[in-house]
Amino acid sequence: MREDGVLKLQSYAVAGLVCLAIGCVFPFLSFESSGLESIMTLPQTVRQLYDQGRPDLAFLVAAFIIVIPSAVMVLLLALSTCMLRQRFYDWMVPVTRLVFHMQNWAMVEVFFIGVLVSLVKIGHMATVVIGISFWGYGAFALCFIASVSNLDRMQYWNELERLKNAR
């Protein structure tokens, strides 16, 4: 791996998880039109979809923008911690395969771009206030992309093999 690749990966994973927590707790967007105001958080968005009779869409949104990306970040944090400590555990190989597979299903950047496009359309119909959660999720998207891009698969597998043989 690049000399500081694992350390960068761990740093981006920690920062990303903090930003995702901010993104899920605080208001994401608020809309005001004709005297009616609506404030939503990311988890409330999933709940609203479920309450409106769309449990399938609610599941997909929750999975692709919150659950899978956060799981990838947590697993990357665990793997990078083991790598930095120069320890090998039997669970690392299957977890690494899982991370490499799951990162393809995380739609963090797709969701964020979709929100930006929607803001342009909605901005003409209502007053939109961007909440701190919007910026937190945007920072999470950047951290997610940075952490995944700092993971060189070939070098990672070579380092994992070296740790396994050094036991």
Domain around 142: 5-165
Q: What is the pLDDT of residues 32-41, one digit of tens each?
A: 777 777 888 9
Q: What is the pLDDT of residues 64-108, one digit of tens each?
A: 999 999 999 999 999 999 999 999 999 999 999 999 999 999 999
The domain total for the chain is: 1
Q: What is the pLDDT of residues 108-138, one digit of tens each?
A: 999 989 988 988 888 778 788 899 999 999 9
List own/partner pairs for 124-128 with CB under 8 A and 24 or more apart. Answer: 125/33, 126/31, 126/32, 126/33, 127/31, 127/32, 127/33, 128/29, 128/30, 128/31
Mean pLDDT (whole number) for 133-151: 93
Q: What is the CATH number of the domain that holds 50?
A: 1.20.140
